[in-house]
Amino acid sequence: MKLNIKPKVTLVGAGPGDPDLITVKGVKALKNAKVVLYDALINRELLEYVPKKAKRIFVGKRKGMHSFTQDEINELIVKNAFEFGNAVRLKGGDPFIFGRGAEEIDYIESFGIETEIVSGISSSMAVPASVGIPLTKRGVSESFWVITGTTTERKLSNDVYLAAQSTATVVILMGMSKLSEIVSVFKKYNKSNVPTAIIQNGTTANEKIGVGTIDSILEVVEQQKLGSPAIIVIGEVVTESAKLRSFYEQIAVNNSSYNLY
């Protein structure tokens, strides 16, 4: 028997990983949900806000282990919205920043289903901030780029080539599998000495940080066994972090060709 309830889907950004970084509005949506479809990168602690009687459906996609295709996820969202009425789609970070949230909303609304967007704190900003890296700072960086490292064709984004020519801070998501290509691009534009940080599992208890320069970051990754999910931050602002500054001060002492300031 179908419920006589108007279907609604609320697309909620779960934030970068720390469960305390979800918005109050996002928590309210979870508390009112009848069904929640959630991704692999969300912190499972957030599911504690979901009513015990509500249905929980894992629809996460991870490299090499896809439980559902995007088309299947879209269909599941619509099916459950019609069945349960109040559905929440819980996605990591902000769903409109490389989260395919816009695609899901387009599909859902094509069925006449009411939608609501609850933005999340993007890992592109929160993760660097969590280790003290300001993406912009007066006199150091006037802007920042947020780029996906891997396109839908599994290739390196052409925007990386443009970003490497700028003085902006460059934040790359989903770029670890393309790191060697990214390094080559930046070296091509004489950026070998640019400070670079890689933060794996940012804002969580499993956070790992690797710091170096474009010239050394591949070696750092190998030594520290860093992998996905991780944020790559490239730019002089990396040295502005009080947590990381001592590392770069030592580089300046050991390598007079590196201009820290």
Q: Which of 91, 94, 125, 174 is catalytic?
A: 174
The amino acid sitting at 10 is: T
3-state percent breakdown (helix, strand, coil) of the chain, nearest 5: 35, 25, 40
Cβ neighbourhood burial of 205 (10 Å; 0-12, 13-18, 19+) = exposed
β 86-91/35-38 pair status: parallel
Tell me whether the omega of the peptide bond preceding residue 229 falls within 30 degrees of 0, making it cis.
yes
* C-alpha span between 166 and 199 (Å, rounded): 22
Q: Which of 39, 91, 176, 178 is catalytic?
A: 39
Helix axes 101-109, 70-84, angle to 10 degrees: 50
* C-alpha span between 47 and 204 (Å, rounded): 16
Per the listing, tokens 């720390």 go with 18
Report how far Cα 20 is from the mean position of its chain's Cα atoms. 16
Using DSSP's 3-state secondary structure scheme, residue 144 falls into: strand
Give, in order, the Cα–Cα distances in Å from 258 to each of 15, 29, 120, 249. 36, 50, 38, 10
Q: Is 39 in the active site?
A: yes
Q: Which of 28, 61, 187, 208 is catalytic?
A: 61
* CA dihedral sign of residues 42, 43, 46, 50: positive
As annotated, the active-site residues are 39, 61, 174
